Amino acid sequence: MNPGVDQYLEIGCGRCPLVGTPDCKVNSWREELIELRRIILKSGLKEEIKWGNPCYTLEGKNVLMLSSLKSCALIGFFKGTLLNDSYGLLVSPGKNSQSDQRLVFTNVETVLDQESIIMEYIRQAIEIEKAGLKVDYKKNPEPIPEELKIVFENDPALKTAFESLTPGRQRGYILHFSQPKQAKTRFSRIEKCIPKIMEGKGFHDR
């Protein structure tokens, strides 16, 4: 047991001004979090504190996290989309989530009633990590502005240089080029960045 988790359960994560107050979201779900922690600890995962919350790891790899929102207490699985959700209990944190899935709880009774089921999900998550399975993330590239396409047509070398950049650097440029409403300004931004692109540098690189 990590003493940092004891502190988390007592006063909260400390990431907002509500820490240690009755309005802290941890305070609202303390009983549920305590019971969920008890169940998780049965798995043998290492208990740590990361991002202000209890995080449970296997050989240094994040497996799941214990946390709370205003509306619930939860166990968040880092590779939740790989779990077999045979009970239909997993909840996605958002429509664009490709990996995280959650088990959410709003009362202690449900936690206790579903203890064996919760352990099934945890064991699955551990086996997934042991097997080295990875989430197949679908790329959602930013749309290339028409002005950049035109410049590429006239300068194939620039196109090649741009496509050789890391995805993050490409995205940085595309966001920068796409911001202005006027095409003239977009072309101007592209022209100013050509030397850096040809040098293999990102927009924020010096």
CB atoms within 10 A of CB 186: 21
pLDDT of residue 140: 59
| Range list for CATH 3.90.1150 in the chain | 3-130
Q: Give 19-39 pLDDT, tens digit per residue.
A: 888 888 899 999 999 999 999
Task: Look at the domain 3-130 and name its fold.
Answer: Aspartate Aminotransferase, domain 1 (3.90.1150)
Residue 6 neighbours by CB distance under 10 Å? 12
Whole-number pLDDT of residue 149: 93
- Output the pTM of the full model: 0.68
**Spans of the chain below 50 pLDDT:** none
